[in-house]
Structure 1
Amino acid sequence: MKKFIAMLMAGAMAFSLAACGNQSAENTQSGSDKTDGSELSGTVMCLGSTSMSKVMGYLSEQFSTDNSGVTVSVEGGGSSAGVEAAANGTADLGLASRALKDEEKEQGLVENIVALDGIAIIVNADNAVADLSVEQISKIFTGEITDWSEVGGEAGDIAVIGREAGSGTRDGFESITETADSCKLDQELTSTGAVIEAVRGNAAAIGYASLSEVEGQDGVSAITVDGVECSESTILDGTYKIQRPFVIVTKEGAEMSAQTEAFFDWAMSTDAADLIRQAGAVPTAK
């Protein structure tokens, strides 16, 4: 009888140990799954070029939708501010709508080209001028050509609209048209949107703005340059001459948070290409 009771107790103990073992395994497995499938959380601060706001808006919105625990914040301030923010770590990612300068690269900053952007030359929609050469554009912005009749339009003074010093759009425009430090502007504005509004409101105006911001705008027209329209295909094949890169600026050796690295890797991949295209820019990932 004692032997029988001992056998029952041993069996019960074995069953209990097995059950505990199974529960422990289940707990271990559950914890592993949770770790492997853990969701990203936190913020990603992007700061810099206002010309990149539309592209970055599309990317940030989709990434936050796919990763509900992450907030991607996009703030303006201009390309120079974006480069500085990447350099001193006040933002997770800097945004610059121009190539990095040699002295900036020497600081350890890295130029990651996420897209290409055509700088559209815009006139008021009521202006009859539909095409200008790069040379004519340069002469208009430096004050050598001052009347629309000199370039095939109706007689009248040309109102020249441009961006402020430090703007990536201005830097790109001036470097391509070789007008750096020599532009004579009637209005110097601090955002792409402000330039578009100024040209829309003045029949005599000419300005420049990111293609991604101009598309779909009423009241302004993007003219052809040397007979070539500003479009994705002409930007990619290089025939449209006034174009510049959209750059996400990072710094060598700077550690990214998990959410920043995930957003950066995704934005630079082909998975984000359609969104970049929808925003009016030309994706570079292949």
Structure 2
Amino acid sequence: MALATLGVVVPGIAALYEFVVKGRKRLGYRVQMDTTASNVVKTQHDGPFAQLVVGTRKLEDPTIVLLRIENNGATNIDEGDYSRSHADDTGITVTFTDRNVVGAVVTEVSDTNMGSSFQNGGGFTVTENVLELPKVPMNRGEHYKVLLALERADGGKGPRQYPPPDVDCTVKGGVGGGRIQETKSRTGTPKRVLAMIGFLVAIVVAQLVIFASSGDSAPLDCASGHLRLTGSTAFEPVAREAAKSYHDLCPRASFTLEMRGSGEGLQTVDQAGRDGSATDRLTFSDGEKPTGMPGLLPRPIAFFLFTLVVNGDAGIQDLTLDQIKQIYQGKITNWQEIGGNNLPIRLISRNPGSGTRAAFQRRVLAGEREPGSNSDDCQTRDPGSPAGVVRCARDTTDAVLRTVASTPGALGYSELSAATGRNGLISTRINGHAATVEDADHGTYPFWETEFGYTYGEPPANSLAASFLRYLTNQTGADIIRSHGDRPCAELANPQLCHPT
């Protein structure tokens, strides 16, 4: 199937090269008007048309010609594209047969910037029957027009005659990598475009025939089978959307999602690998695996942003790193102490084993571990617990966000996309910097982490696990990651941030 497809695609590419690349620079010209100014029928409005003169000399059988010069190619034309030498200001030469040029003026430019090419007479000269036009830069589709007055070249000494409707002239010039050609005024779709459309339709039809005859309409990288996805609850929305998108493209693949935290996902796949049953498993972790799991291999998937979230009643929108550390150490217990409202601080955290919690401890608390919980309801301390800040923990990102939104004075953390747009929540800045990829990429926003995909050992290249990992890092997967507010690793200004340390 692949060879047959190449047999169709390669000629298509060659045709595109012929249509688009080889002739991409083209100068076109055409005579839009060629009319006699002799034998004027006398009327009360004939005015100057009844007697055309140069100085005191009456023109012999004068004609009026309108010449249009246009860029009808696929790319812009600059001064350096003209075939004449750089020392020659002339770009195009127009030579008329049996007629001399007695007057010429530029009457229309599609872009006013082109007018500068005709100033000071550079490259614009008239010598008997020859008109020289300058090297005019023109963007694709632009044009200019020259109105000319012509007369008989024999000065009226020969038999009286009137020129035919189409002026006889020769246009010489050219552009590098292209050509100059006479064009015709026309409406409707050009033949070149019709030919291209027809050829592309033929390619599509040929591909449909090839795929139909193969009995398999799935893309080349589609894999079949079943894959269990585990790990980060923060990454779950991306994983779920990507799994659905992959299944829509490859119907013989199916997925089960069991996202209960990075730590649990890593342990599950590691144990399955030791038991010899991990070929159908893939887990995602906010950050690197812990030590003691040498069989798990990481693949950087995305640059993930996290944010601190505070209940809207706290009156806080910006915290310094030092203030955050003091809050989690229990040294600051009321928002009023740092300029907020008079509300006690309540900390809503993730359970131990959470990748989001690990990222928070590593990136924001400088490696310091959060103290354990002292509350189940996140409102009051459990009986017998020491005095201090109320602390509780939840299993998932969504549970943390719901609890912070419903608890006055609450502070928590989560993946940025999950927190965005939630009622009752404010995503706080850290040291004055919002959670943006640009700030994190340049080291001014600290709360981020690499999202890794882990398998036990190297999966076979044709397996669903390997194919799905490739899918997450190709264009479709990258689009899904971006749509959730995060960034594919390859798009960072400093991609090394995503690599395991």
TM-score (norm 2): 0.48
Residue 232 of structure 2, aligned match among 23, 35, 49: 49
Task: Provide closer, same or farther for how the CA distance between residues 232 and 30 of structure 1 changes in structure 2, counting only shifts above 3 A.
Answer: closer
Which piece of structure 1 moves more, 267-276 or 194-203? 267-276
Shift of 1:219: 1.4
* Counterparts of 1:30 and 1:219, CA distance in 2: 53
* Counterparts of 1:229 and 1:30, CA distance in 2: 49
* Counterparts of 2:414 and 2:431, CA distance in 1: 18
Q: Contact (CA 8 Å) 1:129, 1:153: kept in 2 or not? A: yes
Shift of 1:151: 1.5
Q: Percent identity?
A: 25
* Counterparts of 2:217 and 2:259, CA distance in 1: 35
Shift of 1:30: 9.7
Equivalent position amino acid for 1:78 in 2: G
Q: Contact (CA 8 Å) 1:59, 1:272: kept in 2 or not? A: yes
Match runs of 1:251-262 below 5 Å: 251-255=456-460, 258-262=463-467
* Counterparts of 2:217 and 2:246, CA distance in 1: 19
Which piece of structure 1 moves more, 191-200 or 147-156? 147-156
Shift of 1:258: 2.5
Which piece of structure 1 moves more, 168-177 or 256-265? 256-265
1:180 equivalenced with 2:361 (yes/no): no
Shift of 1:56: 0.8
Deviations 1:232-273 (A, max 9, x none): 322333321011111111233454662222111111224321
Shift of 1:175: 1.6
Task: Provide closer, same or farther for how the CA distance between residues 86 and 196 of structure 1 changes in structure 2, counting only shifts above 3 A.
Answer: same
Partner of 2:421: 216
Deviations 1:188-233 (A, max 9, x none): 1111111101110012100111112111222111010000001232
- The unaligned stretches of length 5 or more in structure 1 are 1-28
TM-score (norm 1): 0.81
* Counterparts of 1:36 and 1:194, CA distance in 2: 42
Runs of 4+ residues deviating >6 angstroms? 29-32
Q: Contact (CA 8 Å) 1:114, 1:285: kept in 2 or not? A: no
- The alignment yields a C-alpha RMSD, in angstroms, of 2.4
Higher relative contact order (CA 8 A, sep 6+): 1
- The unaligned stretches of length 5 or more in structure 2 are 1-209, 374-389, 492-501
* Counterparts of 1:96 and 1:162, CA distance in 2: 17
Partner of 1:92: 281
Higher helix share: 1
Q: Contact (CA 8 Å) 2:301, 2:451: kept in 1 or not? A: yes
Equivalent position amino acid for 1:85 in 2: T
Q: Contact (CA 8 Å) 2:287, 2:452: kept in 1 or not? A: yes
Equivalent position amino acid for 1:245 in 2: T
Residue 228 of structure 1, aligned match among 420, 433, 450: 433
1:132 equivalenced with 2:313 (yes/no): no
* Counterparts of 2:211 and 2:482, CA distance in 1: 41
Equivalent position amino acid for 1:109 in 2: L
Partner of 2:88: none
Partner of 2:396: 191
Shift of 1:86: 2.8
Task: Provide closer, same or farther for how the CA distance between residues 236 and 203 of structure 1 changes in structure 2, counting only shifts above 3 A.
Answer: same
* Counterparts of 1:72 and 1:43, CA distance in 2: 6
Partner of 2:408: 203
Partner of 1:123: 310
Equivalent position amino acid for 1:119 in 2: F
Deviations 1:169-188 (A, max 9, x none): 11111122133153665211
Higher strand share: 2
Q: Contact (CA 8 Å) 2:314, 2:343: kept in 1 or not? A: no
How many equivalent pairs are there?
Answer: 256
SS of match in other structure, 1:144: coil
